Chains A and B, each alone.
Chain A
Amino acid sequence: MAEANLQKRKFFKLKPTKLNRSRAGNGLLFGLMIICGLFMVLPLVMIVNNALKPLDELFQFPPKIFVRNPTLESFSDLFVLMNDTWVPFSRYILNTLIITIGGTVGHVLVASLAAYPLAKHDFPGKKTLFRMVVLSMMFSWTVTQIPNYMIISWLHINNTYAALILPAWQFGMGLYLMKQFMEQLPDSLMESARLDGASEYSIFFKIVMPNVKPAWLTLAIFQFQQMWGNTGGMFLRNEELKPLQYALQQITAGGAARAGASAAVTFIIAAIPITFFLVCQSNILETMTTSGMKE
């Protein structure tokens, strides 16, 4: 019933459940949004325009934001350079796929699994564990890099995908985000399933996760962005293991001669997470509207 209601909603119409809305208020807020929005979207506009600029426009001084004679030259330049890399370019793409998908899916799953007991069960050590996670986010990441490297070497996962993927599974933010959302679920929801004899795992997968869909979709966006931007740094030495991001940076390191290809690279680097972002965001639907959710 509620599902059907959700589907019926038009995309532009204001929510029927929104009450107390004045015209003046609408005008004020949307006016504010348009002004700020124009300013915020600037980097996006620049990326697209730069990628379409021919070389002479890229070097134009003073620089212009908008392109005059759009062309796909930069992309064809980039494809030529791609054929020229040390290992086949598809290898970099494969590496990135493994690291990004492994890091994102694994993190969402591992962090959510840990967040559920922290939000909804009562057991010794609960507060301490949670507090440790939150506090850990406040310790500067820069100085823990060296000890981290030592530990990764000690575990013998240096120079493997695991050196990037496993640490990504335990980022504190993900657990914190999931725990905060799960906390809001009414206990009665889980209680009735428990009375029906459901195990904690089936409660987790069949009740908890579907009800916090906005949370894990948001977490997936953050994590995807994080993993996608990873260049492998000091953890991956073999060229065959390096991600796309690294290969693309090598291409753009060529300086002025590669300005065109570099603009195309910037576009591609941004386009993938943006696509992922849009897919996730448009899937964030109202979850708590189902009648079964009321306490």
Chain B
Amino acid sequence: MATKEALELARKQKTLGYRLKQNRASYVMMAPYFILFFFFTVAPVVISIGLSFTYFNMLEAPTFVGWENYVRLILEDDIFMVALKNTMLFAVITGPISYFLCLLFAWIINEFNGKLRAFLTLIFYAPSIVGNAYLVWNIILTGDRYGLLNGLLLRLDIINEAKVWMKTEEYILPILIVVQLWLSLGTGFLAFIAGLQTVDRSLYEAAAIDGVKNRWQELYYVTLPAMKPQLMFGAVMQITQSFAIADISINLAGNPSVNYAGATVVTHLLDYGSTKFEMGYASAIATVLFLLMVGTNKFVQKILRRVGE
């Protein structure tokens, strides 16, 4: 009899209704967030994906066009292909390097304490917190002999006439990559700084006893595995940022840039969304970009799981 009751209870515990009820506190705690999330994120994303199958100029009601936007995007839009190539290049180069830089500087800064650490963090985070980052680069890259870069190279006799950096096709992409790297100590960087603060100190002592000899080994075998959740977070942020690069390109090279040398998927999207008012087409671009990021994320998370093993 007792076993029968126990079995009955066990079966009951497995049913969805029972488990939902059991976890009522969890759902109540999450409710404020997820109600808002549904209204302000899920619904807009679903509507956007829906719009990607329409022609929508924001004045008239959208008309359904099926896969037309996607077909046009992939088969006919040459600029999209350039933008896609540039974006991939950006992501492959700046993504991993930025990520590594965030980690490196967070780790070095973590060696300091208190106020000094806060100050050092500010210095490295400065490009992300002050609004005038482009201003600095505009002065450096000014296209006459008074630009800082031109001035320096002229004085060193490396070039013999001033270069119009941001209007010369072959310089645009490399320069944008450098600027992006300079801007890279942002979200991931601060998350790593905070993450390093939560690593249990006793792990280091234990590791020293176990024969970890220098700081590099300590980093790989102790610190990194202990902050895996932050590493995952940093990677996702890095992906969303690297694939969405647009601002620096628009501010430094213009949109459209010379021969689309600085075009990225998002500048292309902005071109259609806010200049040409083709919201359906812009939504299709956003959807393709989304799929690209999701795929990359899957791949990166797989690699990160192996850290320290």
Contacts and interface: CB of A to CB of B under 8 A. Distances in A.
Q: How large is the interface on B (under 10, 10 to 19, 20 to 34, 35 or more residues)?
A: 35 or more
Interface string B88-127: 0000000000000000010011011111111111111111
Interface of B: 16, 19-20, 22-23, 25-27, 29-30, 32-34, 36-37, 39-45, 47-48, 51, 58, 105, 108-109, 111-127, 129-133, 135-136, 139, 146, 151, 182, 185, 187, 190-191, 193-195, 197-202, 204-205, 208, 212-215, 217-218, 226-227, 229-230, 232-233, 236-237, 239-240, 243-244, 266, 269-270, 273-274, 279, 282-283, 285-286, 289-290, 293-294, 297
A46 to B, nearest CB: 6
Contacts of B199: 288
A146 B279 contact: yes
A76 to B, nearest CB: 22
Contact of B190 (A32, A146, A167, A218): A218
Contacts of B116: 11-12
Interface string A137-167: 1111011101110110001000000000011
B111 to A, nearest CB: 6
Contacts, number: 296
Interface majority SS (helix, strand, loop, mixed), chain B? helix
A287 B197 contact: yes
A151 B297 contact: no
B122 A274 contact: yes
- In the A-B complex, list the 4 residue pairs whose CB atoms are closest, starting with the nearest: A62-B146, A114-B33, A117-B26, A180-B229
Interface of A: 9-15, 17-22, 25, 29-30, 32-33, 36-37, 39-44, 46-47, 61-63, 110-111, 113-114, 116-118, 121-124, 129, 132-140, 142-144, 146-148, 150-151, 155, 166-167, 169-170, 172-173, 175-177, 180-181, 183-184, 199-201, 204, 212, 214-215, 217-218, 221-222, 225, 229, 266, 269-270, 273-274, 277-278, 281-282, 284-289, 293-294
Contact of A9 (B114, B131, B194, B202): B114
B41 A218 contact: no
A144 B215 CA distance: 45
Given A138-B290, A282-B115, A288-B201, A147 B48 contact: yes
B219 to A, nearest CB: 10
Contacts of B112: 12, 14
Contacts of B202: 294
Contacts of B125: 277
B30 A15 contact: no
Given A33-B108, A143-B279, A172 B41 contact: yes
Contacts of A111: 33
Contacts of B213: 20
B44 A144 contact: yes
B279 A41 contact: no
